[in-house]
Structure 1
Amino acid sequence: MAYQALYRTWRPQKFADMVGQEVVTKTLRNALITEQISHAYLFTGPRGTGKTSAAKIFAKAVNCLHPVDGEADGTCEICQAIDQGTLGDIIELDAASNNGVDEIREIREDVNYAPTLAKYKVYIIDEVHMLSTGAFNALLKTLEEPPANVIFILATTEPQKIPATIISRTQRFDFKRIDANAAYERMVYILNQRGNNYDDTAVKVIANAADGGMRDALSILDQALSFGNGNVTLDNALLVTGSVTQTLLGEYVMALVEHNSKRALAKLTEVLTDGKDAGRFIEDLISYARDLLLNTEAPDLISLVPDDNFKQLAQEQKADTWYQMIDVLSETQQQLRFTNRPSIYLEVLTVKLSRLNQAGVAEPQAVVAGNSATNVHVNTETTLKPLDDSNDGTVIETDNVAPVAEQPIRIAHKASTEKKHIFEVLDAATRGDLNRLQAAWADILAQLNVSQKAILSTAKPVAASSNGVLLGFDFEIFRDKTKKDQGLVDLLNEQIRKLTESKDERNLVLVTNEEWPDIRNQWIQQHRKNKPATESAAAPEAELAATDIPEQNESTQDQTIVQAAKDLFGDELVEVKAD
């Protein structure tokens, strides 16, 4: 008999064999035991997590002549026919290659005929999101009025592409990524059953590389067994997965935290020379930094055996170091998807990581005006001398160097979320500045690329002054992403300056729309206490919603503030409530 891949040979034959999907399997088994069987199911989740296997197991169990606790007995006539693939009542359809209306219409005609041997006809449609619009409409008719002896099981990795009308007529089960420990235990079980020799660490490397897919884990294991003539060694696992040894990772990270970019680049060269995959290298670094972060908080969750380098790093470095490193690594991981020269990104990444400190990226803060995409660091009196062999990452300054360019030099803009900076904008904010910014906001967004527009799609100006802009975001994640994107911050400043015809640069301050009312009210109270009445004529944007100002027994100062807000923003924008 021809050799079969491990993922086919060891495909689960019953719910108890499935790995990492306990909620799904328990629910399906209980439905079978209580005979609460739906006419349509939707199985969603990442590839290789058991969707199709669960569909086949369910089809066998629902038709088994002698089921036991919701499981097929595997010995009856129906079970054996299903195992041999000779039962015509179980129909599998790949929607990727059969996505037309004609195929679905054929199903609509076939469902009207009773099953030949089994109790139910079961249609398993894999990658159902690939069906055309017409095919979905044809399928919908069948799902609306299904025959009593027909069950549909739809499987997909992209449920967002399925019409809501289809989803609403199914019972949906979400399959999760399989935990690395669960994948490891399953592979160890298979290796023990086969009698193969294996290195425990090698199997863990494969489990981590599979990224939550059991099928991927078994495919990689198959490769490692073939490469090692039936044995699974650590070297073979690293070669097959493209992963980097823990020792090399530790030496690379050690060089980074010591700010020794020269030695770190040398370690990177070793990685690239060995032909390691750039994406896998970054994933390994993220996992390594994650383990260092969890070492002090939850050592049971780390995925490796600590060596000397790991122990030293965990002892000497603060958690902030690993937070910052993971942020930078995640950003570079996204950039790698759009380049054919990953080695350049890795070299830039190495230099950037070697300059991290506990306050962020530690280097001069000046940038050449007009070059927001590159952020070239310069100084009017000093410049950075290239690293030489004797320099272990220390920046050496040399005096009396000619300026790099004659362009004007300005300080890099930073976006802030601090309350004191919000108050600074509000102290000087005016309705005129806000009106000009709101009028130009659509044009400002039009100058951004698609990803930048997506980030700012739910943001809008809520206050503005001659030197500051306060943006309100619907979602905290977009606010934080904007704050971290220096290129976007610089571009926003430049477009705001141009399109509002302002001579001055403006500081960006970011706030969520959820917290904005509370912060605004806090500022109003502080403004009333600290500002004399004569200064209230320029009462800023925050005063337009003076919800905390009492209607009766107001002081002269309070009345002046409210009147100034009315003069600036109009009566219709001011709501006055009594305490």
Structure 2
Amino acid sequence: MSYQALYRVWRPQRFDDLVGQQIVTRTLKNAIITHQISHAYLFAGPRGTGKTSAAKIFAKAVNCHHSKDGEPCNECEICKAITNGQLNDVIEIDAASNNGVEEIRDIRDKAKYAPTQADYKVYIIDEVHMLSTGAFNALLKTLEEPPANVIFILATTEPHKIPLTIISRVQRFDFRRISVEDAFNRMKYILNQKEVTYDEKALWVIANAAEGGMRDALSILDQVLSFSDNEVKLDDALLVTGSVTKQLLKKYFLEISKHEGATALDTMKDILDEGKDGQRFIEDLISFIRDILLYQESPSLISVESTGLKKEDFEEIVQLAPSETLYQMIDELNNIQEEMRFTTHPDVYLEVLTIKLAQIKSQKNTQLTPMTSLATNPEADKTIEKLQQEIQQLQQTVKQLQDAPSKDSRPLPRQQNEQPRVQQKKVQVNLNKIYPVLENATRQDLINVRELWGDMLNLLSVPQRSLLHVSQPVAASAVGIIVAFDYPFLFQQAADDTTLLKNMEGALQRLTGNERQVVFVPKDKWPRIRQDFIKDHGFGNKQPKAQDSKRNAQATSGSEQSPVIPSVTRDEPPLPSEGETPTAEIAPQEDNQVATAQKLFGSDIVKIEDN
């Protein structure tokens, strides 16, 4: 018979043979003993942790008529047939190559038929996360209403890719990574059964290189046996795994801890010249520093034998490097490891890394040296006393300066009042843009613009809407609108924002179909601007005779009332409803001033009063 790999020859045939999965095996055995067998299971976990092996053992245990304590006998015909993969009622499917809807439909159709030899028909679907969406939907119906005497066992390394509708219909078992100690003991047992000589340190190296996978550990052990002519030696294990010996790591670490950068560079080059991989070197160094940190916290947290070092080595290393330095080293190693993934010259990164690691503690010492010298120097006490006296004097001076403004508090309000005056001088209003709008402004245009104001704001960005939240149109014509801001600094901010002006004009054009120019004014200056416009255009030059009855147009805006000069602000009286005609007090024969006021601000606001 041809040679078989170790992981195939020593594949677990009983639940007790599974390494490091005591919780899973105990639960499955109890389910078999108590006959509480579910119709579907999900085995999830990293590669090489025994998922498929557990599925086959479970298939044997539920169909074995001579099972004891939930374990299959492995002697009956059914157990032997399942072990050899010759039982038709136990079907193992690789979902990576059979991930279509037709394959799952075929399983669904055949699952309806009763088993031929065994008590249960068991479907083992490996790498189930590779199924397509349609295949999952086809499988879902079968899991929801399973036929009698059919068990589905789904195995996957990526359970997050499985739909929740599938997971909710199965019993999930999470397989954990195999610990280094469990992998070491399993390899030791196999080598003892094979009567092969081995070095325990080599087994520790292989167990660490497997990274939690028992199958990976046995594959590496197979390579080492082939390389060293059916022996397991430490040097051969290091060569096969690409790991760095603990003694070389110890030498390198001692050199960087003593800030001997040049010597550490030579040691690092010796390690690379032996064919060690740069990424593997960093991983081994991180694992080495991790062992040191755990030993510093508590020596019982790690197994010294598994590290390849002695207790005396740890005691020597711990004295050289405090935990803060080790944390900084790990940060540097992680950064370099990430950068080395995208480079073709790892040697350069490793050289830079070595220099950085050698300088970490020296930088810390330079910061701590002055304090240490002060603490040990007898003259330091005098220096400290002088510094304390100077600090007290400075604190008293600062306190006096803080108290001084409170005693003379009158000038401060003047300074604060003067500051807004300077800011008000900076507020500039462009009358050349305002007057053309007022010359053609009508009340109806203003009403139309205010009705569209909310829609226009929705077309702007959120920051622009927040800026216009404290503004409102106060005049409008067919060629433009005037927008008043409650606060001068917000007006200045809006006036300097050319993008805001363009967006507002574009939004108004989209809503009205006409191009309109937008002009900003501060609210506190708007009444004055309005009055100046009326005077500049000759409204109010005509003075009625004393004996004639005087009628002055008065525009009411909140609490502000001004004779003759029409005014309008944001707080205006409600507009006339449909069908309501303006007041009859104003006739076509009124003077030019009243007619102009009605045109600008609306006849519903302008009143004619006799003085």
TM-score (norm 2): 0.58
1:278 and 1:439 mapped to 2: Cα distance? 51
Q: How does 1:219-298 map to 2 (within 5 A)?
A: 219-298=219-298
The answer to whether structure 1 residue 139 and structure 2 residue 143 are counterparts is no
Cα shift readout 1:238-257 (whole Å, capped 9, x = no counterpart):
00000011111011111211
Correspondence for 2:16:
16
2:161 and 2:121 mapped to 1: Cα distance? 26
Cα shift readout 1:198-220 (whole Å, capped 9, x = no counterpart):
00101111001100000000000
Q: In structure 2, do the counterparts of structure 1 residues 362 and 114 end up closer, same or farther at CA, with 3 Å as the change threshold?
A: farther
1:270 and 1:81 mapped to 2: Cα distance? 54
Task: State the AA in 2 paired with 1:347.
Answer: E
Q: In structure 2, do the counterparts of structure 1 residues 4 and 357 end up closer, same or farther at CA, with 3 Å as the change threshold?
A: same
Q: In structure 2, do the counterparts of structure 1 residues 360 and 326 end up closer, same or farther at CA, with 3 Å as the change threshold?
A: farther
Correspondence for 2:339:
335
Q: Residue 304 of structure 1 is aligned with which of 303, 307, 316?
A: 307
2:109 and 2:363 mapped to 1: Cα distance? 67
Correspondence for 1:119:
119
Q: Given that residues 129 and 159 in structure 2 are in contact (C-alpha distance below 8 angstroms), is that contact kept between their aligned partners in structure 1?
A: yes
Q: Given that residues 122 and 152 in structure 1 are in contact (C-alpha distance below 8 angstroms), is that contact kept between their aligned partners in structure 2?
A: yes
3-state DSSP of counterpart to 1:83? helix
Deviation (angstroms), 1:305 = 4.1
Deviation (angstroms), 1:100 = 0.9
Cα shift readout 1:135-189 (whole Å, capped 9, x = no counterpart):
1111111111111211111111111111111111111111111000000000000
2:211 and 2:128 mapped to 1: Cα distance? 23
Correspondence for 2:162:
162
Correspondence for 2:351:
347
2:282 and 2:308 mapped to 1: Cα distance? 19
Q: Given that residues 96 and 127 in structure 1 are in contact (C-alpha distance below 8 angstroms), is that contact kept between their aligned partners in structure 2?
A: yes
Cα shift readout 1:390-425 (whole Å, capped 9, x = no counterpart):
xxxxxxxxxxxxxxxxxxxxxxxxxxxxxxxxxxxx
TM-score (norm 1): 0.61
Q: Given that residues 104 and 138 in structure 2 are in contact (C-alpha distance below 8 angstroms), is that contact kept between their aligned partners in structure 1?
A: yes
Q: Given that residues 64 and 78 in structure 2 are in contact (C-alpha distance below 8 angstroms), is that contact kept between their aligned partners in structure 1?
A: yes
3-state DSSP of counterpart to 1:197? coil
Deviation (angstroms), 1:85 = 1.8
Deviation (angstroms), 1:362 = 8.5
Q: Given that residues 295 and 314 in structure 2 are in contact (C-alpha distance below 8 angstroms), is that contact kept between their aligned partners in structure 1?
A: no
Q: Answer 1 or 2: which has greater helix percent.
A: 2
1:151 and 1:359 mapped to 2: Cα distance? 64
Q: Given that residues 61 and 67 in structure 1 are in contact (C-alpha distance below 8 angstroms), is that contact kept between their aligned partners in structure 2?
A: yes
1:105 and 1:14 mapped to 2: Cα distance? 32
Q: In structure 2, do the counterparts of structure 1 residues 138 and 10 end up closer, same or farther at CA, with 3 Å as the change threshold?
A: same
Deviation (angstroms), 1:288 = 0.8
Aligned pair count reads: 366
Q: How does 1:432-443 map to 2 (within 5 A)?
A: none
Deviation (angstroms), 1:343 = 2.6
2:168 and 2:363 mapped to 1: Cα distance? 49
1:54 and 1:261 mapped to 2: Cα distance? 51
Correspondence for 2:102:
102
The answer to whether structure 1 residue 176 and structure 2 residue 176 are counterparts is yes
Q: Given that residues 246 and 308 in structure 2 are in contact (C-alpha distance below 8 angstroms), is that contact kept between their aligned partners in structure 1?
A: no
Deviation (angstroms), 1:336 = 3.3
Correspondence for 2:34:
34
Deviation (angstroms), 1:344 = 2.9
For structure 1, list consecutive stretches of 5 or more residues without a partner in the other structure.
364-437, 441-579
1:86 and 1:99 mapped to 2: Cα distance? 23
Q: In structure 2, do the counterparts of structure 1 residues 439 and 292 end up closer, same or farther at CA, with 3 Å as the change threshold?
A: farther
Q: Given that residues 123 and 153 in structure 1 are in contact (C-alpha distance below 8 angstroms), is that contact kept between their aligned partners in structure 2?
A: yes
Q: How does 1:35-50 map to 2 (within 5 A)?
A: 35-50=35-50
3-state DSSP of counterpart to 2:265? helix
3-state DSSP of counterpart to 1:285? helix
The answer to whether structure 1 residue 313 and structure 2 residue 317 are counterparts is yes
Deviation (angstroms), 1:16 = 0.3
Q: Given that residues 355 and 361 in structure 1 are in contact (C-alpha distance below 8 angstroms), is that contact kept between their aligned partners in structure 2?
A: no
Q: Given that residues 254 and 309 in structure 1 are in contact (C-alpha distance below 8 angstroms), is that contact kept between their aligned partners in structure 2?
A: no
2:366 and 2:180 mapped to 1: Cα distance? 36
2:200 and 2:295 mapped to 1: Cα distance? 21
1:164 and 1:295 mapped to 2: Cα distance? 43
2:209 and 2:362 mapped to 1: Cα distance? 30
Correspondence for 1:464:
none
Correspondence for 2:202:
202
Q: Given that residues 355 and 362 in structure 1 are in contact (C-alpha distance below 8 angstroms), is that contact kept between their aligned partners in structure 2?
A: no
2:341 and 2:92 mapped to 1: Cα distance? 34
Deviation (angstroms), 1:439 = 6.5
3-state DSSP of counterpart to 2:307? coil
Deviation (angstroms), 1:323 = 2.1
Deviation (angstroms), 1:108 = 0.7
1:348 and 1:229 mapped to 2: Cα distance? 40
Q: Given that residues 320 and 358 in structure 1 are in contact (C-alpha distance below 8 angstroms), is that contact kept between their aligned partners in structure 2?
A: no
1:132 and 1:192 mapped to 2: Cα distance? 45
3-state DSSP of counterpart to 1:92? strand
2:348 and 2:191 mapped to 1: Cα distance? 40
Q: Given that residues 90 and 122 in structure 1 are in contact (C-alpha distance below 8 angstroms), is that contact kept between their aligned partners in structure 2?
A: yes
3-state DSSP of counterpart to 2:41? strand
Deviation (angstroms), 1:101 = 1.0
1:114 and 1:345 mapped to 2: Cα distance? 64
Cα shift readout 1:104-161 (whole Å, capped 9, x = no counterpart):
1110111011111011111111111111111111111111111121111111111111
Task: State the AA in 2 paired with 1:127.
Answer: E
Q: Given that residues 251 and 309 in structure 1 are in contact (C-alpha distance below 8 angstroms), is that contact kept between their aligned partners in structure 2?
A: no
1:358 and 1:41 mapped to 2: Cα distance? 57
Q: In structure 2, do the counterparts of structure 1 residues 185 and 262 end up closer, same or farther at CA, with 3 Å as the change threshold?
A: same
3-state DSSP of counterpart to 2:74? coil
1:157 and 1:342 mapped to 2: Cα distance? 31
Q: How does 1:412-491 map to 2 (within 5 A)?
A: none
2:243 and 2:47 mapped to 1: Cα distance? 21
Correspondence for 2:360:
356
2:123 and 2:362 mapped to 1: Cα distance? 57
Structure ID, larger Rg: 2
Q: In structure 2, do the counterparts of structure 1 residues 117 and 242 end up closer, same or farther at CA, with 3 Å as the change threshold?
A: same
Deviation (angstroms), 1:309 = 5.0
The answer to whether structure 1 residue 213 and structure 2 residue 213 are counterparts is yes
For structure 2, list consecutive stretches of 5 or more residues without a partner in the other structure.
368-461, 465-611
Q: Given that residues 257 and 320 in structure 2 are in contact (C-alpha distance below 8 angstroms), is that contact kept between their aligned partners in structure 1?
A: no
3-state DSSP of counterpart to 2:151? strand
Q: Given that residues 29 and 71 in structure 1 are in contact (C-alpha distance below 8 angstroms), is that contact kept between their aligned partners in structure 2?
A: yes
**RMSD of Structure 2 on Structure 1 (CA):** 2.0
Cα shift readout 1:471-529 (whole Å, capped 9, x = no counterpart):
xxxxxxxxxxxxxxxxxxxxxxxxxxxxxxxxxxxxxxxxxxxxxxxxxxxxxxxxxxx
Q: Given that residues 38 and 151 in structure 1 are in contact (C-alpha distance below 8 angstroms), is that contact kept between their aligned partners in structure 2?
A: yes
Q: In structure 2, do the counterparts of structure 1 residues 211 and 139 end up closer, same or farther at CA, with 3 Å as the change threshold?
A: same
Q: Given that residues 336 and 342 in structure 1 are in contact (C-alpha distance below 8 angstroms), is that contact kept between their aligned partners in structure 2?
A: yes
Task: State the AA in 1 paired with 2:174.
Answer: D
Correspondence for 2:149:
149
Deviation (angstroms), 1:86 = 1.3
Task: State the AA in 2 paired with 1:321.
Answer: T
2:103 and 2:77 mapped to 1: Cα distance? 30
Q: Given that residues 183 and 207 in structure 2 are in contact (C-alpha distance below 8 angstroms), is that contact kept between their aligned partners in structure 1?
A: yes
Q: Given that residues 74 and 80 in structure 1 are in contact (C-alpha distance below 8 angstroms), is that contact kept between their aligned partners in structure 2?
A: yes
Deviation (angstroms), 1:295 = 1.7
3-state DSSP of counterpart to 1:232? coil
Q: Given that residues 99 and 131 in structure 2 are in contact (C-alpha distance below 8 angstroms), is that contact kept between their aligned partners in structure 1?
A: yes
Task: State the AA in 1 paired with 2:335.
Answer: E
Q: In structure 2, do the counterparts of structure 1 residues 244 and 154 end up closer, same or farther at CA, with 3 Å as the change threshold?
A: same
Task: State the AA in 2 paired with 1:306.
Answer: L
Q: In structure 2, do the counterparts of structure 1 residues 340 and 49 end up closer, same or farther at CA, with 3 Å as the change threshold?
A: farther
